[in-house]
Structure 1
């Protein structure tokens, strides 16, 4: 079993950011912090475009670490925990480089948020998605702005309220989360590489200006996502959520 990691490699002016955790790529706080820092540090590299991907062949990202979630015992710790994905999404938003998402498998909770926060996302047919937070007594408050921005309020609500259902990659494509869906990981990788290297050959100033246009009207997200993390941090301490979480121990 591999150890968790976050890596960064540059090839042909494309920066490949890869995260991994042996528990279905669930993201504990330390991995999220490393991911955020690498996205920030990539700003000062020769990479013209970034690709966000995860290790392994199956799950893209199972969301936040359940073990950490169960251990939360006060509001400050709760807010800090839920700020993990908020900080990564804001780092992606504020990056001057376009970010391509490579989603090879299932995405749950925060994993859907990461996919939504990319500027262009490609996936395989195995990349079904689910927002399961309501089923355990919280909600996808932190990632909601990114998800809604990509697929709209109606589709976000459908995902959120039908919290125990996986929606297919084709559904996610039809709603605007994925640009294309491929039969195999090999076909996905070929398309990701081709697109990333093509973009990296374009005028970098034009790419930066396009990034600003894509993320127009999100300047309040530093505050907004922090407020959302606070909401989740309180809800995780509720009697309902605590009782629900006991079943997963």
Structure 2
């Protein structure tokens, strides 16, 4: 068996659905993995056996390095670009619409689209190594698709700060202070223990109450299907700009 093959898998145990993704390139997410991730979240949302969802990634270093650079550098028309950037939009919208609480388990650094995924969870727990960065401006685009999710958690001030300062990693402590992380732990072992205990607690609560609470928390985001689709178009257009093509060529 290939231990470095990309995957999205789900493990269901005592009402807890653990959805895990992995890619050998620092858990970056190409289109096919994003589609699988959105589908797994939708399915878990519809499964009556599932009381709560834990979203995590494989490996111990990086939670998610964002979009797949390999796919990004090969975009050569607006429609391909729109479809590519819609991948993260579809996952964020699946998380938003899912009637179950989603706990984020963030073990390490997270960049770009990964910050969007962490922001779209309902309760996010991390290690002290989970620094965050929105690096999109570096290559001539911006965090358009993930922006609404990140802004909802960090506020406009926090989001604009990390989006403009595209070279810097911001610490897990900073992310906790701004409201992205609920708890920060010293090690992955402590994080996993805490996530498991918290998920078990949630399984003992009234599913109907949690469903109504989730709906309440996400009130005001009903237009995100259209909004994120529009944002994907902007990114799809910008990725074809001469500036971005030049920047991306250095990564080839």
Bin the TM-score by the shorter chain: over 0.9
Instruction: Please show how residues 156-235 of structure 1 align to structure 2 within 5 Å.
Output: 156-235=159-238
Instruction: Map residues 1-249 of structure 1 onto 2, 5 A cutoff.
Output: 1-45=3-47, 46-249=49-252
Supply the distance in 2 between the matched residues of 1:231 and 1:158 (Cα, whole angstroms). 21
CA distance in 2, matches of 1:17, 1:48: 13
Q: Unpaired segments of 5 or more residues in structure 1?
A: none
**Equivalent position SS for 1:51:** strand
CA distance in structure 1 between the partners assigned to 2:249 and 2:203 by the alignment: 48
Give the CA deviation at 1:56. 0.3
**Greater shift in the superposed pair: 6-15 or 215-224:** 6-15
Secondary structure of 1:71 counterpart: coil
**1:44 Cα deviation (Å)?**
2.7
Please provide the CA RMSD for this pair.
0.6
Distance of 1:43 and 1:24 partners within structure 2: 27
TM-score, normalization by structure 1:
0.99
4+ runs of 1 displaced by more than 2 Å?
none
Supply the distance in 1 between the matched residues of 2:121 and 2:42 (Cα, whole angstroms).
14
- Residue 39 of structure 1: how far off its partner (Å): 0.5
Name the TM-score, length of structure 2 as normaliser.
0.98
Provide the rounded CA distance (Å) in 2 between the counterparts of 1:224 and 1:43. Answer: 22
Q: CA deviation at 1:43?
A: 2.0
Whole-angstrom distance in 2 between the partners of 1:242 and 1:44: 41
For 2:193 and 2:204, the matched residues in 1 are separated by: 17
Deviations 1:148-201 (A, max 9, x none): 000100110100000010000000000000001000000000110111110011
Task: Say which SS state the counterpart of residue 8 (structure 1) adopts.
Answer: strand
Aligned length: 249
